Amino acid sequence: MITVTAKTSQQYSGDMCVYFVRQLDNKKTMPVSQDKEVQEIIKRAYDVGDFFARAGETVLHYPGPGTGAKPAKSARRILVVGLGKDDLDREVFRLAGGTASATALKKKAYEFMAVLPDELDFPAVEMAQGLAEGLILGAYQFVKYKTKFEPDEKPGEIKNIMLSTRHLSAVRKGVKTGSTEAFAGCRARDMANEPGNYWTPAQFAERGRELAAEYGFKCKVYGLAELKKMGMGGIIGVNQGSGKPPTMVVLEYRTGKKVPTLLLVGKGLTFDSGGISLKPGAGMQDMKYDMCGGAAVIAAMQAIGEISPARLDVVAIVPATENLPGHDALKPGDIITQYNGKTVEVVNTDAEGRLILADALSWGVKKYKPDAVVDLATLTGAVIVGLGHHRTGLMSNNDALAEKIMAAGEKSAEPLWRLPLGKEYAKQLESKVADLKNVGTQGAGTITAGAFLEEFVGETPWAHLDIAGTAWDFTEKSYVPKGPSGVGVRTIIELIRAWK
């Protein structure tokens, strides 16, 4: 969708041409553009007090005779986007790219050129990566189930974005990196946006097989009979109330060399009604998003297929089922046996994510002996109480791994906040009748959920990302829409890129 060109805006006559300019200072000083034509537009907007190039500020101009822009070869619209005055980083360009795409969609400018501010003192690769991420993520929309539109309201798609620059090779490199991450993020959003009656455990299996065919991964899908035979008491138990069989999808990316293995596990709960411990009706429809951890892991594998990391093998596991109150559903008080033999008293059937993850984690750790495990799950409402919708909750038994993930989250503007673990929290999970109960005593709900998972990873360095607050309703930005955010995808990719 993005092409890089040495052509200048004077040689472009498409739907829109986008320029980016810096705010000069806190005072209301007129922003400066290298481009004379743009400078004239800025001056007009500035003179009426509309534009200081603050981050996210825009001017939309329609060039033509007498309006100051060259009419002959000019694009039909000129958009100037402010970059603000804060230190430049990838996020500044992500936001600016998002603003450009959002404006383009609104104006139905489906083909546009963005002129890179080559003159800024900032690495062209990073600038291009940030812009590509923002442009692609900001162009995301999900309208496949809408059949009726007001006349003239039918949304189109952004078809082609040209990036004009003098630094062709650096920008091409950045665009490739940014596009790969952003497309993966969009695919995670797609899976999440699908309704629960369409995106079922079988869909995870199908997507896994598609990716395997495309990128040469090894793919194995475990169905109901196999999961039973393997002793996956958590997945089977949670699935009992559902009319659809569970799946567990395993994808393996192998370098063929002797390198460390990273294991990714994602919660693929395709609908969480709570089961017999039924959730309240209001807002229950959002529980179709309870598979966002699984979606993030699968989408990240798509990017891994594109990137082919050289120093790391990656295995992805997505345990997938619905949690419904069918006639054979788990009941509060039931005791199940997880894959590793630990018994769990299910005191609340709505704490189901940890039950399916416990099986996948202990099975994955035993089978693959990974050097590190990262799980992503919309695990607790409590993480929203603690961190709101702005940060993912991070828990880990390993400081080095936790720091790597924090750094990857920072780079991708998917910030995390680490919460503690420890024996006090583990103690909250003691059961009178089994090895553990699935819900801890009152308090620290996010941490006790993490402490539950910790029982299933042994000594393996492990990190748990509770994305219940960020997988949807994430801090709204130009490139983060109201629905599912695709959070976690870019963090995983950054983590893998930075792996030493």
Q: Rule CB under 5 A: which residues touch Zn ion?
A: 269, 272, 290, 350, 352-353
206-214's contacts with Cβ under 8 Å and 24+ in sequence apart are 207/249, 207/298, 208/249, 208/250, 208/251, 208/298, 208/318, 211/251, 211/298, 211/301, 211/302, 211/305, 212/251, 214/305
- Binding partner of residue 387 among ligand BES, Zn ion, none, CB under 5 to 8 Å per kind? none
Considering beta carbons, is residue 334 or 410 the nearer one to Zn ion? Answer: 334
Q: Would the CA dihedral through 5, 8, 14, 19 be positive or negative?
A: positive
| Helix axes 445-454 and 353-368, enclosed angle (nearest 10) | 30
Rounded CA separation 463/53 (Å): 40
Query: Angle at Cα 131 formed by Cα 145 and Cα 62, nearest 5°?
Result: 80
Segment near ligand BES (CB under 6 A), from 27-35, 118-126, 169-177, 372-380? Answer: 372-380
Rounded CA separation 95/478 (Å): 6
Rounded CA separation 372/340 (Å): 18
275 belongs to the binding site for ligand BES (CB under 6 A):
no
Cα 449 off chain centre by: 22
Non-local (6+) Cβ contacts of 138 within 8 A are 97, 98, 99, 100, 101, 102, 478, 479
CA 183, 185, 191, 194: dihedral to nearest 10 degrees?
A: -90
**Which residues inside 289-318 make contact with ligand BES, applying CB under 6 A?**
290
User: Least distance in Å: CB of 283 to ligand BES?
Assistant: 8
Rounded CA separation 268/251 (Å): 14
- Binding partner of residue 174 among Zn ion, ligand BES, none, CB under 5 to 8 Å per kind? none
User: Least distance in Å: CB of 274 to ligand BES?
Assistant: 6
Considering beta carbons, is residue 341 or 443 the nearer one to ligand BES? Answer: 443
User: Least distance in Å: CB of 363 to ligand BES?
Assistant: 20
Rounded CA separation 242/129 (Å): 43
Segment near ligand BES (CB under 6 A), from 35-43, 95-103, 148-156, 380-388? Answer: 380-388
Element (H, E) at 260: none
352 belongs to the binding site for ligand BES (CB under 6 A):
yes
Considering beta carbons, is residue 174 or 450 the nearer one to ligand BES? Answer: 450
- Binding partner of residue 484 among Zn ion, ligand BES, none, CB under 5 to 8 Å per kind? none
353 belongs to the binding site for ligand BES (CB under 6 A):
yes
User: Least distance in Å: CB of 32 to ligand BES?
Assistant: 46
User: Least distance in Å: CB of 268 to ligand BES?
Assistant: 12
439 belongs to the binding site for ligand BES (CB under 6 A):
yes
Considering beta carbons, is residue 181 or 272 the nearer one to Zn ion? Answer: 272
The catalytic residues are 279, 354
**Which residues inside 62-91 make contact with ligand BES, applying CB under 6 A?**
none
User: Least distance in Å: CB of 212 to Zn ion?
Assistant: 27
- Binding partner of residue 303 among ligand BES, Zn ion, none, CB under 5 to 8 Å per kind? none
Of the candidates 19, 78, 85, the residue with the CA atom closest to the CA atom of residue 55: 85
- Binding partner of residue 373 among Zn ion, ligand BES, none, CB under 5 to 8 Å per kind? none
**Contact yes or no for 497/489 (Cβ under 8 A):** no
One residue of 378, 428, 470, 478 binding ligand BES per CB under 6 A: 378
Residue 480, beta-bridge partner list? 477
Rounded CA separation 108/472 (Å): 26
- Binding partner of residue 239 among ligand BES, Zn ion, none, CB under 5 to 8 Å per kind? none
270 belongs to the binding site for ligand BES (CB under 6 A):
no
237 belongs to the binding site for ligand BES (CB under 6 A):
no
Rounded CA separation 127/243 (Å): 49
488 belongs to the binding site for ligand BES (CB under 6 A):
no
382 belongs to the binding site for ligand BES (CB under 6 A):
yes
Q: How far apart are the first and last CA of the chain?
A: 32
381 belongs to the binding site for ligand BES (CB under 6 A):
yes
Binding site for ligand BES (CB under 6 A): 272, 290, 348, 350-353, 378-382, 439, 445, 468
